[in-house]
Amino acid sequence: METIKGKRMIQVDERGFYGKFGGAYVPEMLYPNVEELRENWETIVSRSDFQEEFQGLLRDFVGRPTPLYFAARLSESFGAKIYLKREDLCHTGAHKVNNTVGQIILAKKLGKKRIIAETGAGQHGVATATVCALMGMDCTIYMGELDIKRQRPNVERMRILGAKVVPAVSGSKTLKDATNEAMRAWITDPVGTHYIIGSVVGPHPYPEMVARFQSVISEEIKRQLLAKEGRENPDLVIACVGGGSNAAGAFYHYYNQPSVRLIAAEAAGLGIHSGKSAATSVLGTPGILHGSKTLLMQTEDGQVVEPHSISAGLDYPGIGPVHAHLHDIGRAEFVAVEDENAMQAGILLSRTEGIIPAIETAHAIHALHQISYRPSDLIVINLSGRGDKDLETYIQWGNY
Partner 1 sequence: MNRINYLFQNKNKDLLSIYVTAGFPKLEDTLPVLEAIQEGGADLIEIGLPYSDPIADGPTIQESNAIALENGMSIKKLFSQLLGFRAKIHVPVILMGYLNPIIQFGVEEFCKKCKEVGIDGLILPDLPMSHYLEEYKEIFERYGLFNIFLISPQTSEARIREIDRYSQGFIYMVSSHAITGAKSAISEEQEQYFERIAAMNLNHPRLIGFGISDAATFQLASRYSNGAIMGSAFIKKIKDSKELKQDIKNFLSEVRG
Ligand X SMILES: Cc1ncc(COP(=O)(O)O)c(C=O)c1O
Let me know if 5 is a catalytic residue: no
Q: Which is nearer to partner 1, 16 or 385 (CB)?
A: 16
* 296 CB-side CA count, 13 A: 23
Site string (83-112) toward ligand X, x via CB under 6 A: -----------x------------------
Of 336, 335, 350, residue with least CA distance to 397: 350
Residue from 199, 218, 280, 344 touching ligand X (CB under 6 A): that is 199
Residue from 241, 260, 380, 381 touching ligand X (CB under 6 A): that is 241
Closest distance of CB 276 from partner 1, Å: 17
Site of interaction with partner 1 (CB under 8 A): 15, 23-29, 31-33, 170-171, 176, 180, 183-184, 187-191, 285-291, 296, 298, 300-304
Q: Which is nearer to ligand X, 106 or 247 (CB)?
A: 247
Closest distance of CB 363 from partner 1, Å: 25
Closest distance of CB 214 from ligand X, Å: 8
- The answer to whether 140 and 164 have CB atoms below 8 angstroms apart is yes
- Of all residues in this chain, which one has the CB nearest to ligand X in the complex? 385
Angle formed at CA 264 by CA 330 and CA 15, multiple of 5 degrees: 60
Q: Which is nearer to ligand X, 108 or 212 (CB)?
A: 212
Of 145, 141, 102, residue with least CA distance to 124: 141
Buried b (16+ CB within 10 A) or exposed e, 126-164: bbbbbbbeeeebebbbbbbebbbebbeebbebbeebebe
Q: Which is nearer to partner 1, 206 or 251 (CB)?
A: 206
- The answer to whether 330 and 262 have CB atoms below 8 angstroms apart is no
Secondary structure of residue 255 in the 3-state scheme: coil
Let me know if 96 is a catalytic residue: yes
- The answer to whether 277 and 271 have CB atoms below 8 angstroms apart is yes
**Annotated catalytic residue within 75, 85, 112, 118:** 118
Of 202, 126, 221, residue with least CA distance to 165: 126
Q: Which residues from 247-286 bind ligand X, rule CB under 6 A?
A: 247
Q: What is the DSSP string of 316-365?
A: -SB--HHHHHHHHTTSEEEEEEEHHHHHHHHHHHHHHHS--B-HHHHHHH
Query: First vs last Cα of the chain: how many Å apart?
Result: 44
Instruction: Name the segment binding ligand X (CB under 6 A); options: 64-72, 143-151, 241-249, 373-381.
Output: 241-249
For position 344 contacting ligand X by CB under 6 A, the verdict is: no
| Footprint on this chain of ligand X (rule: CB under 6 A) | 94, 120-121, 123-124, 199, 240-247, 313-314, 358, 360-361, 384-385
Q: Which residues are catalytic?
A: 96, 118, 384
